[in-house]
Structure 1
Amino acid sequence: MYLEGRVLERPIATPVSGRERGTAFPLPAPILVYDFFSGCGGTSEGLRAAGMKPVLGLDLDREAMATFAHNFRDAAAVPRDICHLTTSEIEPLFEKERVSPVLFSACAPCQPFSRQNRQRKEKDSRVSLLKELARFVLRFRPELIFVENVPGLQTFSESDDGPLHELLELLDSNGYKHSARVIEAQAYGVPQNRRRLVLVASLFGEFDFPQPTHGSGEGFHPVKTVRDAIGHLPPIKAGASDPSVRNHQACALAPQNLERIRAVREGGGRRTWSDHLKLDCHVGLKGYTDVYGRMTWDRPSPSLTTRCISLSNGRFGHPEQDRAISVREAASLQSFPDRFEFLGSLNSQARQIGNAVPPGLSEVIGRAMVAHVQKHLERS
């Protein structure tokens, strides 16, 4: 049986039947979410908040799957490589008689397509992950498909044999209408500067992206800031935690790094250091000015990476406390709710958060997809 290890000690969850459904969902039947490359479950968390029902989380990262299993107790958490998974192995997770619309989320790891990945290799095995999704699309024909990645995926896929191009050809030949857009997460209420490519494909027709809700000007909500996201959390010191708040733990700092962060003001960086604090590798270097920097209270945070709790890997310093942001603060800046708990080592938790789709973004897109399906049902 493919469900092995601590992550999946419980049996496979099966989709609820029509009689078991409540009336909380905006559709006669909830949209069922099958989250490929789910990581810890950022996409699933947002889609659940939009009224959908997560059924499957699939990811090779076992610690991420432990987090998924912990937070989605009614879903199956499968710690497997999609390349070695057959369609028949997940068939028990589908309704025998299709009642609920099905959504496939396919937010594959973004590192192969990121500009920050200066060691990107054309033969990176992760590039083929979207191709693997095709087997499952052809077998189960989900009504909806949701893909999120860095904008570089679009550039990387301009050639005829690129992974996105091949996926779009598959969708075209199988009756899907697809819409893609590069969006700014902060324009939809996420307190972070995060630019992403979002693709939605549907068997119900053309999908209309929701309009931005946050920004400057009349009719917009103010952009959410670092203060909005983490200002309510209790102060802690570097290397300490607060047990009253889930995952509110910060990495320890060596004495010299503690001195370095103390020499940086809110919004500042390493350029203000005195000579004895400067690293040899930074002498004469014009770039990498964000490392060892502090965030600004009243602006969105920079884009979080898989090393978002490390002071030396970006502008991840707390605006005023002498430390890097905690795991909980990183999660809040990714728009995870405080009740969402992360498992694994500190480094693993940071990786899970940095790789995640912000739940606040997937919720907004999810609500638009629910409205899209509802509109189709009303017409039919």
Structure 2
Amino acid sequence: MKKGLVAVDLFCGAGGLTKGLSDAGINVLKGYDSDAKVSETYERNNRRSNFFHMDVVKLKKKELLDGIDRENNFFLLAGCAPCQPFSLINRKGIEGDDRRNLVLKFGRLIRETLPDFVFMENVPGLVNGKGKVIFKKFLAILDNYKYFYDYKVLNVADYGVPQRRKRLVLIASKGIKVKIPGNLSSDNIVTLKEILTKYPPIKAGEKHPGISNHEARGLSELNLERLQRIRKNGGSRTDLPSEFILKCHKKHKGHTDVYGRMSFDNLAPTLTCKCTSISNGRFGHPTQNRAISVREAAAIQTFPDDYEFYGNMSENTRWVGNAVPVRFARAFGEYFINLSSNAN
């Protein structure tokens, strides 16, 4: 009889998925990522987990299973491969992008290790866009090895994350039928007012001395003037007088979120790897004349305030923007805990 549930987190990044699974009660033993710089952030915040700097393409069965007691524990293999090749904001084709094959490399490790449970998160484009051929091949691996599985495009806001962020989630089990767990009650929807107002004001280019990662990007004098003229709580670049509108925006009506402000009474837009820059989306603070800080971005991704990021600002922003929201991950961790308790 197996008593526990252990996991390995592939493409772990800064550890959003690891943190959420751990909060649910799963012992995440290892995290693998090709970015060596993220190791300090991952290990300092996930003390029970070991970080391995390795390209998953090169990861072998023996290495992955080393130290995992499968006789006494159920084994969850989780993988959130880089989503950029399949993202809607990526206007290039996926041909020639080596990252497109990482989903199938994850599939290879499933085939070789036959975990009891599988979790995968990616962008919707993997199932209904550029990546659908690859996704069908991934499903074929699960079919060939008799896995039960379910997948669905979900909005993380329905799981208590203050952000409109649609993600494809797949769960699989070797011996038990599975079903994507339902969303939380709409009463649990969290707005930005609850998240952002607890942080003290800072100016563009300033770093708060007492709150880790509460640091905002600097702004040019012209961009600061632009932001000052954009309506607070949800204003857009369409608020700007003609003399402040960029030439490229005068000729192009799209991308109206660029230079926009978030609203306290609403959800955040999907955070990206450039979510602390006003020129890359609706990432302006609702009322202060700056973009959101790394700490505020992390809070929107439901990282706790004591989860510290140890890179430079660009690295920290990328790690936060690419992370699986912690609260979202925890919901699935709790599902797997319940599933494993019924599997014996």
Specify if TM > 0.5.
yes
8 Å contact from structure 2 (residues 276, 291) kept in 1:
yes
Q: How many residues align?
A: 343
8 Å contact from structure 2 (residues 237, 256) kept in 1:
yes
Name the structure 2 match of 1:115: 88
Residue deviations 1:333-355 (CA, integer Å, cap 9, x gap):
01111111111110111110111
8 Å contact from structure 1 (residues 148, 197) kept in 2:
yes
Specify every segment of 5 or more residues in structure 2 that has no aligned partner in the other structure, as ranges.
Answer: none
8 Å contact from structure 1 (residues 57, 65) kept in 2:
no
TM score, norm. by length of structure 2: 0.95
Q: Are 2:190 and 1:224 equivalent residues in the alignment?
A: yes
8 Å contact from structure 2 (residues 125, 131) kept in 1:
no
8 Å contact from structure 1 (residues 207, 369) kept in 2:
no
Name the structure 1 match of 2:34: 60
Name the structure 1 match of 2:311: 344
Cα distance change, pair 157–376 in 1 and its aligned pair in 2 (3 A): farther
* CA displacement at 1:157 relative to structure 2: 6.6
Q: Give the distance between the partners of 1:29 and 1:312, measured in 2 at CA.
A: 50
Name the structure 2 match of 1:362: 329
Aligned to 1:154, which of 97, 112, 127? Answer: 127
Name the structure 2 match of 1:87: 61
1:283 aligned counterpart, secondary structure: helix
8 Å contact from structure 2 (residues 294, 317) kept in 1:
yes
Name the structure 2 match of 1:9: none
Q: Give the distance between the partners of 1:309 and 1:300, measured in 2 at CA.
A: 16
Cα distance change, pair 48–234 in 1 and its aligned pair in 2 (3 A): same
TM score, norm. by length of structure 1: 0.87
Name the structure 2 match of 1:175: 146
2:112 aligned counterpart, secondary structure: helix
Name the structure 1 match of 2:162: 191
Q: Give the distance between the partners of 2:6 and 2:200, measured in 1 at CA.
A: 37
Specify every segment of 5 or more residues in structure 1 that has no aligned partner in the other structure, as ranges.
Answer: 1-26, 216-220
Residue deviations 1:259-310 (CA, integer Å, cap 9, x gap):
1111111201111111221111111311010011100001110000100000
| Overall identity of the aligned pairs, in % | 38
Name the structure 1 match of 2:106: 133
8 Å contact from structure 1 (residues 186, 214) kept in 2:
no
* CA displacement at 1:158 relative to structure 2: 7.0
Name the structure 2 match of 1:7: none
Q: Give the distance between the partners of 2:170 and 2:64, measured in 1 at CA.
A: 24
- Letter of the structure 2 residue corresponding to residue 123 of structure 1: G
Aligned to 2:225, which of 251, 259, 263? Answer: 259
- Letter of the structure 2 residue corresponding to residue 328 of structure 1: R
Q: Give the distance between the partners of 2:185 and 2:264, measured in 1 at CA.
A: 17
Aligned to 2:97, which of 107, 111, 124? Answer: 124
Residue deviations 1:10-53 (CA, integer Å, cap 9, x gap):
xxxxxxxxxxxxxxxxx973321100011111111110111101
8 Å contact from structure 1 (residues 157, 164) kept in 2:
no
The equivalences for 1:233-312 within 5 A come to 233-265=199-231, 266-312=233-279
Name the structure 2 match of 1:73: 47
Q: CA RMSD in A?
A: 1.6
Q: Give the distance between the partners of 1:338 and 1:120, measured in 2 at CA.
A: 38
Q: Give the distance between the partners of 1:158 and 1:89, measured in 2 at CA.
A: 29
Residue deviations 1:129-182 (CA, integer Å, cap 9, x gap):
0111233223322111000111100024776xx222122111111121000011
Residue deviations 1:164-201 (CA, integer Å, cap 9, x gap):
21221111111210000111110110000011110000
Aligned to 1:103, which of 72, 76, 86? Answer: 76
* CA displacement at 1:222 relative to structure 2: 4.2
- Letter of the structure 2 residue corresponding to residue 145 of structure 1: V
